Chains A and B, each alone.
Chain A
């Protein structure tokens, strides 16, 4: 089974707009911690939240989140 991972590009989009995590959280009506975990790839947001972030940042969802397939992933050590 192929391994897939979500690579968030939220931080780049936020910084490009000159927003802090707290400001983006305020605009998206979520907690700052939610933004922090999404940016760090710790938490995968729901479709609703992804669409809200996309709307707030004025970018399509695909620009904020990139799906990495096993071909894109770095090879495992010894594998």
Chain B
């Protein structure tokens, strides 16, 4: 494959991958809307509400299938370099940095928005409905996904070429530093939360999800900052 053909294939693969991600986002949106409709509806036995869980499940499954397909296109992209001027490893690392900024921050904002309002209800014992606990548990999604984003996926360790760029000596060292920062932030937050709880348990309850979320996203953000610094030619 000559350079021109390689670029054309690469651009086509990137377009398909972006299109797949847009569809996945749309599927997630449909699933969220269906779950919200089901949880907030008074009558769950008629109309769209009755089939909402099934529609949500179907949307999630379709989204997951498209997501797996989009990941498999990454291998094709590895063979096709769309921009020979920028080294392939640099592009991969830049994409990772983008993910580490965007994913934890958006998950953090969504988690905080979804959780903080229900903590008062949990504290006063008003959270008797399953819906409340679903909303209260949203922050756990952030607490799990944000560190996993930094840890990297099996996809990043799949081939020696990907390992070389995404799990190289520098990445491992920066990841170690980032975990250390995350641990420090989490411990600092936990100590502060404990101190607040001694004086104002209600405030501590409301702040608990925020502390968890900040501790969860801190390592990823710190890694992204270190990665950005490593790019600078000093």
Contact = CB atoms under 8 A, between A and B. Distances in A.
Contacts, number: 47
Interface size class of B (residues with CB under 8 A): 10 to 19
Given A22-B87, A25-B87, A31 B234 contact: no
Contacts of A32: 87, 89-90
B169 A49 contact: yes
A31 B229 contact: no
B89 A43 contact: no
A53 B164 CA distance: 15
Interface residues of A, number: 16
B233 A33 contact: no
Given A25-B87, A43-B173, A49-B169, A31 B231 contact: no
Contact of A31 (B168, B173, B233): B168
Contact of A45 (B169, B229, B232): B169
A37 B234 CA distance: 9
17 contacts: A22-B90, A25-B89, A30-B164, A30-B169, A31-B89, A31-B165, A31-B171, A32-B89, A33-B89, A33-B90, A33-B93, A33-B227, A33-B231, A34-B170, A40-B233, A43-B170, A46-B169
Given A25-B89, A33-B227, A40-B233, 14 more contacts: A30-B164, A30-B168, A31-B165, A31-B168, A31-B171, A32-B87, A33-B89, A33-B170, A33-B230, A40-B232, A43-B170, A43-B173, A45-B169, A49-B169
Give 3 closest A-B pairs by Cβ, nearest first: A34-B170, A31-B89, A40-B234
